Structure 1
Amino acid sequence: MRVELRGEESLRDRTAHRVVQEALTNATKHAPGAPVTVEVRKDSTEVTVTVTSGASEAAPGRSRGGGLGLIGLRERVRLAGGTFESGPRDGGFLVVARFPHKDGVR
């Protein structure tokens, strides 16, 4: 998997880190070999994490489905006071999480 990281922000915030971790795990399982872009942005009020996976050139990975990864992320981001969205996009998949930043997120 080729991963491109965009943005000048680090992933010191645990919630941001988990969003990226789960999105990369899902891309590996469901779209092996697809290019993935991770973008982390912070403004004066919030952190936005966007993970976009492209269409896989390989056969889709086997999955039993019914996992709780995205549901767990949605809840984690909600508990951090943020919003979460995910779904298919242009043959790939998009995950976007926005939440208030804490001190220590740089």
Structure 2
Amino acid sequence: GVLLDLHYSKFNSDFGSGTYESASLSKNFSDSFRVQVYGGHQIFHTALSSNTNSNFVNGVVDFNLGPRYFVEGNFGWYSGAALSYKQWSTIFGYRLGGFRK
């Protein structure tokens, strides 16, 4: 099936205050292949930054290549009041124990 995860947080401290909302959808197509998409909105009030309002969407694809190796692809989109960007990364990795087939 598909996993839906929702988060809401309201915070207030000496450094700032605001709210954070996010939602994610993830699906395991097999033991070796997983896809996740998540996004959200943050409002942050502080004297330390002018980036007070932001939206984001991220995506992750994981694929196991046997019991030890994996490939992961990530894409991120971020749009804020003072900063907006897109980024992507690709990872080829080796697991140290834990995953056995």
TM (norm. structure 1) is 0.30
Between 1 and 2, higher relative CO (CA 8 Å, sep ≥ 6) is seen in: 1
Query: As a proportion of its length, which structure holds more strand?
Result: 2
Query: As a proportion of its length, which structure holds more helix?
Result: 1
TM (norm. structure 2) is 0.30
